[in-house]
Chains A and B, each alone.
Chain A
Amino acid sequence: MTMLLEVDDLRMYFHTRDGIVKAVDGVSFTLDRGQTLGVVGESGSGKSVTAMTIMQLIPMPPGKVESGRVLFKGADMLEMSEDQVRKLRGNRIAMIFQDPMTSLNPVYRIGQQIGESLRLHKGMDRKAAAARAVELLTLVGIPHSDERTKDYPHQFSGGMRQRAMIAMALACDPDILIADEPTTALDVTIQAQIIELMTELQKRTGSAIIMITHDLGVVADIADKVLVMYAGKPVEYGVKDDVYYRPLHPYTWGLLDSLPRHDVNEKTALCPIQGQPPSLINVPSGCAFHPRCPYATSKCRSEVPALRDIGGEHFAACHYAGDPGFERGVIECAGVGA
C-alpha cells in the first residue's frame, strides 16, 4: 500500500528583489495513516512554508516550487490542476493555523464557517451542514454547542476559537490534519487542552497529523516521527525516540540542551544555542549551522552535508553524525539568567 503522504526533495524558493530566499530546501518525509509527524525548528526555519507548500497556499509568484514531489496516496499534488488540489484542500488535507484570533472570519457565524466546507465538499444543504456543525462543536468540547454555533468569532475565547478551528478542519474527516503551531498563541493551560483534544480526536478519526511547532515538549508528547529543520533544510529526521534519546545532529543537541528540565537543579542555567538563525537570502556556506556549531570544522564551512541514513531510518545532515567519538558533549555555556 502506498504511503498516505510522501514528500520528496521539496524546494520552495521565493524570488524577491533582494535575492532568492530558499525557504524550503530539499525537505523529504513520509507520513502513514494515523501517524503523527512533529516538525520542529526555530522561527524562520521553513516549517510553516513546508506545510503551506503542501497545501499550495503560497502565492506564486513570488514563490516557486523548484523541485520535488508531494505524493498524496501516490498522486503528485504538484502536478494536479488547481481544481483537483482544491478538492483535496479542506477535504482530505485540512489545516489549522497559529493564531485563532485572526484565523476566523469576523463577519460570519461560527456555525456558518464550519458548515462551509461541508457544503462545499460533501454537498450538504444549509440545514444538514448546520446540524453537523453543532455535532462538531460538541466533539471539540464546546458546551451548549447548538447555541454557540450562532455566535460570531469575537464572542469566543482564544481556546474556544482554536477548538472551532479544529472542528472546521475535521469537518470532512480529513486523512491529514496539518497543525501550524496551533498552541503558540494560547496560554499554557489551554495549550495542553488543545493538544489533548487533538490526540483524542486522532484516536477517534484515525487521521494523520503534521504538528508544526517550536515546542519540543509538545512533539515529545504526541509525535511518532520527528523532522528537525534548520534554515529551510531538514537536519535530522527519524522516529521520536531516536531523535530524542539518540540525537545525531549538533543542532538537535542544541535544541534539547536549551530546554528546561525537571530533573536538574533549578539553579542550573539554561543553555541556549548561541547566535541567530541565518538570513535565508544569505545562507552560510557549507553546513548552514556551522557558524553556531561548537563542533564545526573546515569541512563544515565548505561542504554542504547531505541528509543521510545513519542507520535504522534515522537521518541526519551532518558530516560527522554517527562517527564513533562524535558525541553530544557538555558544552560550556554562558547560559541565561545565570
Chain B
Amino acid sequence: MLKYIARRVLQVIPVFIGVTLVLFLLQAVIPGDPVKMITGERAMSPALRLQIMKANNLDKPIPVQYVIYVNKLLHGDLGTSYQRGRAVRDMLGEKYPYTVKLAFAAIIIEIIVGIAAGIISAVKRYSFLDVLVTLSTSVLVSVPVFWLGMLLQVFFGILLKQWSGGQIYMPISGAGGLSTDFPDWVYLVLPAITLASVSTAYAARIMRSQLLEIMGADYIRTARAKGLTSQAVIWRHALKNALIPVVTFIGLDLGAMLSGAILTETVYNYPGIGLEIYLAIGRRDWPVVMGGVVLVVVVVMVINLIVDVSYAFLDPRIRYGGAAE
C-alpha cells in the first residue's frame, strides 16, 4: 500500500511539469503586455520600463523565466500579482477557505440528497417517487449551472422578497463578511445548492442504477435464501457493493469542487478561488492564474489519490500491492 502511494505521489511530478509548462507558454503567447498590466496604461520612459521588466524577470528568455518560476514555486513562492502587487500566496490563502467551505457544503448536499434519492428511487422502483427522481435528475443534468444560479437568485432574492413584503429572502451575493444582515453560513446556501445540483443528479442516477443492478446479483439471492429481511438484504448486502462507484464519483467531484467553481462563484460573486482565477484571467494577471492553477492541480491530485486508496477499504478485491503490474 505504501509503495502504491509513493508511486502515485511520484506521478505528480510529470503532471506538475506539464501543467506549469503549458500555462507558462500560454502566457507568453497570449497578447497583452505584462508591463502595462503592472503599471496601467500610462506613458513611461524606456528606462523605467526596463527596470520593471528586470524586476519581474521579463527581460530574460522564456525558458529561463520558466526555470526561475518553478524554482520559486518549489520554495513556496508563487510570485507577486501584477495588478495588486501582493504575494499570490497570500491572495490565494485568503480566498481558498471560502472555496473549501462552499465545496464541503455542496458535497454534503450531494451525499445526503444524491444517495438518498438514488436509494429511494431504486427500492421503490416505478413508484411516483422513482418517476419524480428520474425526471428531476434528467432536468437537473441538462440545466446550465449559471442559469440555475440566476433562477435561484431571482426567486429567493427578488420575488420572495417582493411577495413577503421584504420579510423573507435569501442573500444572493457575496459571502457575508462585514454585512450583518445574515449569519455567514446563510450566504453559502444558494451557491452550495447551485454547485451541487448537477453532481447530485448524477450521484442519484448512479446510485439508482447500481442498486438496481446489484439487487439482481446472485449473492443477493443467496442473502435472501438465508432468510434475511429485505431491509437487511438492501442495507447490508446490496448497499455496500452499490456504493463503490458512487463514492468514486463523489470523491472525484469533491476534487473538482475544491478546484473552485468558476461559474457558481461568478454568478454569486462569491469570493472563492474560482472567481479569483476568473478575474485574474481577464486582467492578464498571470502570476495569480498560474498560482491558482498550481494549487488546484495539487488539490485534485491529492483528492484522487485519497479516492483511489479508499477503494481498497470498500472493495476487498482491490489491494494495492507490489506484486500487481
Contact = CB atoms under 8 A, between A and B. Distances in A.
A107 B315 contact: yes
A104 B222 contact: yes
B316 A120 contact: no
B221 A152 contact: no
A107 B240 CA distance: 7
Nearest to A151: B316
B227 A121 contact: yes
A154 B317 contact: yes
B241 interface: yes
B217 A102 contact: yes
Contacts of A181: none
A168 B225 CA distance: 11
Contacts of A90: 225-228
A55 B228 CA distance: 13
Contacts of A104: 219, 222
B219 A106 contact: yes
Contacts of B315: 106-107
B179 interface: no
Nearest to A178: B225
Contacts of B241: 105-107
Contact of A106 (B221, B223, B228, B316): B316
Nearest to B243: A107
Contacts of B223: 105, 116
A84 to B, nearest CB: 11
A90 B317 CA distance: 27
A88 B227 contact: yes
Interface residues of A, number: 28
B237 interface: yes
A117 B236 CA distance: 13
B325 interface: no
A95 B225 contact: yes
A117 B232 CA distance: 12
Nearest to B228: A120
Contacts of A97: 218, 221-222, 225
Nearest to B224: A57
Which of A88, A109, A116, A165 has the most chain B CB within a 10 Å cutoff?
A116
B227 A87 contact: yes
A324 B222 CA distance: 48
A137 interface: no
A105 B221 contact: no
A301 interface: no
Given A90-B225, A116-B228, A106 B218 contact: no
A50 B240 CA distance: 31
Contacts of B221: 57, 97, 103
Contacts of A32: none
A99 B222 CA distance: 11
Nearest to B316: A152
Interface string B219-262: 10111111111000000010011000000000000000000000
A80 B207 CA distance: 34
Interface in A100-130: 102-109, 116-117, 120-121
Interface string B286-321: 000000000000000000000000000011110000
A154 B319 CA distance: 12
Which of the listed residues A95, A99, A105, A120 has the most CB atoms from chain B within 10 Å of its own CB? A105
B227 A103 contact: no
Nearest to B241: A107
B222 A105 contact: yes
Interface string B186-226: 00000000000000000000000000000001110111111
A121 to B, nearest CB: 6
A15 B226 CA distance: 27
Contacts of B226: 89-90, 94, 116-117, 120, 168
Interface in A247-267: none
B124 to A, nearest CB: 14
Contacts of A117: 226-227
A91 interface: yes
B316 A102 contact: no
A151 to B, nearest CB: 9
Given A102-B217, A102-B219, A152 B317 contact: yes
A109 B224 CA distance: 18
A89 B218 CA distance: 16
* Residue among A87, A94, A102, A103 with the highest chain B CB neighbour number at 10 A: A103
Most buried by A among B219, B225, B315, B316: B225
Interface of A: 55, 57, 86-91, 94-95, 97, 99, 102-109, 116-117, 120-121, 152, 154, 165, 168
Given A89-B227, A120-B227, 6 more contacts: A89-B224, A91-B227, A94-B226, A102-B218, A108-B237, A109-B316
9 contacts: A57-B225, A86-B229, A89-B224, A89-B226, A97-B225, A105-B237, A108-B237, A121-B227, A154-B317
The 7 closest A-B pairs by CB, nearest first: A90-B227, A90-B226, A89-B227, A102-B218, A152-B316, A105-B219, A103-B218
